[in-house]
Amino acid sequence: MKSKWCRGLWTAFVSVWALSSWAAGGYHLTVTAPDLKNAKMFLGQYYMGKLYSKDSTLLDSKGVGTFASKDSILPEGLYVLYYSDSRYFDILLGRDQNITVKVDTTDLPHRLQFGGAQETRDFYDYTSFLMERQKKNAQLSQQRKEITEQTPVDSARLRQVDEASKVLNDEVTARQQQLMDRYPDGMLGLFLRGLTHPDLPEYDIPAGVSNPDSLKRALQYGFVRDHYMDNLDLSDERTFRTPYIRNALDTYVNRILVQQYDSIIPSALRLVERSRGNAHCFQNVANYFLDYAVKSTMMGIDKLTVELGYRYYLSGAATWADSTLKANIESEVHKIETSLVGMKAHNVALCDTTGRYRNLYDLCGEQITILFFFEPGCGHCKKATPKARDFYEKYKDDPRINLIACYLLEDEKEWRDFIKEYHTECFTNVWDPKRTSYYWHWFDTSSTPMIYVLKDDHTILAKKIDVESLEMIAKYELK
């Protein structure tokens, strides 16, 4: 699936700059902006999709200023020159960092002139070329819209527009390839490769397949899932100094992958492994997925927290993680690792309203079991309990399903008063007055109400769901 344009139109204003050596390996960037006399100009750096201030200079009475160092060069990547929050242009820094740029602020990004580094000039020429082609493509898209809205459709004219659009796409692809060939190891080559996708292969579906279109779509999805990120070098730190890397990861995780934990987790781990050739890259990708796992509300994705925790952070592979971070991750992992979706629920023994301790498995429904962990003082529990009761009233005589409500505290009067007040006698009400079951170790009850759904083999089908989801689950599982 080759990208004919871009992985996304990165900024409203597009321009360039390249990195190089000056004197004994330093950098030297001279900016001339005659209409910004005595103004301050800033140099910003993209990193992991965000923009950070890197340097600044005060332009003189002629509008001339310099960013320079004789001792070191700037890391290769995409940077930004800006003089206000809304007036800026992108700069590509490659190996050659001896650069001049003349700025006409009345017509950015078109009125820029670059001197010095060839890679810088090639990048600016490419962005100018790209903007021109995008403008033409927008005009063709409008023409196509107008043609298709007419009755009858002018097929000959429609073909002409489509052919013209293909020519533009082919021109952009050819220009990209030309520059990637010219700078195979340079920042410009890496930048452009990251904007393209591998070509989608043709699949020959064998004769006699009952659903050839479905099979072809499945094969195509499998290819995109496995190769969408191929042209992004996750072990090269320069990749993380582009404006699109964060968006590329977000798009892959949230739009390309099937939104299920068993699809996302192996793909996420595969990308983390690809980043391990560079310590900073490894840190960026591992931290990205840890943050995603912790913040996501997707059911079952907490398994990714466990996988990342043990593989990288608690194993010592994540050398950047300090003792506080590791302690926090260890605490989170231990809290959730015994009650992940797909695992078999532990057969804890809990006390019912008659004072008898019963094993969880003996209380389960024939097909599904709902575990409802609650505290009477919890405001969310007070709202959820009546909804859970109304739901279960319809199923209370059905042996295929049971709802077990587990009181988490130790005040028997509070527990029994709650049952009476909320009329939850239809539930199987249990608690653990002697604290012998260690249910808090076997089930994550860190927030309430906490709802689990178990299958007939006592494996966890769902967890951390709301009461409204129970009806849908019951209808599906009991059909």
Fold match between 1-196 and 349-477?
no
pLDDT higher than 90, residue 2: no
pLDDT band at 81 (very low <50, low <70, confident <90, very high): very high
Average pLDDT over residues 414-435: 97
Instruction: Please give the torsion angle defined by the CA atoms of residues 112, 116, 118 and 119, in that order, rounded to the nearest 10 degrees.
Output: -70
Average pLDDT over residues 231-239: 97
Q: To the nearest whole percent, how much of the chain has pLDDT over 90?
A: 87
Q: Give me the DSSP letters along 293-350.
A: HHH---TTTHHHHHHHIIIIITTT--TT--HHHHHHHHHHHHHHTTS-TTSBPP--EE
pLDDT digits (tens, 9 = 90+) for 44-70: 999 998 999 999 999 999 999 999 998
Domain spanning 1-196, CATH architecture: Sandwich (2.60)
pLDDT higher than 60, residue 76: yes
Domain spanning 349-477, CATH architecture: 3-Layer(aba) Sandwich (3.40)
pLDDT higher than 80, residue 448: yes
Average pLDDT over residues 170-175: 95
Q: Is beta strand 401-407 parallel, antiparallel or unpaired with respect to 460-463?
A: unpaired
Q: Is the pTM of this model over 0.85?
A: yes
Q: Is beta strand 64-69 parallel, antiparallel or unpaired with respect to 40-47?
A: unpaired
Provide the pLDDT for residue 282: 98
Provide the pLDDT for residue 85: 77
244 vs 6, 47, 55, 251, CA distance in Å? Answer: 10, 10, 22, 10
Give me the chain's average pLDDT, please: 92
- Best CA proximity match to 120, nearest among 207, 29, 41, 205: 29
Say how many residues make up the chain. 479
- Note whether 92 and 187 are within 8 A (CB): yes
- Note whether 290 and 305 are within 8 A (CB): yes
- Note whether 331 and 366 are within 8 A (CB): no
pLDDT band at 15 (very low <50, low <70, confident <90, very high): very low
pLDDT higher than 80, residue 22: no
Name the one residue in this structure whose structure tokens are 């798009």.
Answer: 251
- Note whether 431 and 407 are within 8 A (CB): yes
Secondary element (H or E) of residue 40: strand 40-47
Average pLDDT over residues 204-211: 88
Q: Where are the domains of the chain?
A: 1-196, 218-336, 349-477
pLDDT digits (tens, 9 = 90+) for 95-115: 999 999 999 888 777 789 999
pLDDT band at 228 (very low <50, low <70, confident <90, very high): very high
Q: Is beta strand 40-47 parallel, antiparallel or unpaired with respect to 50-58?
A: antiparallel
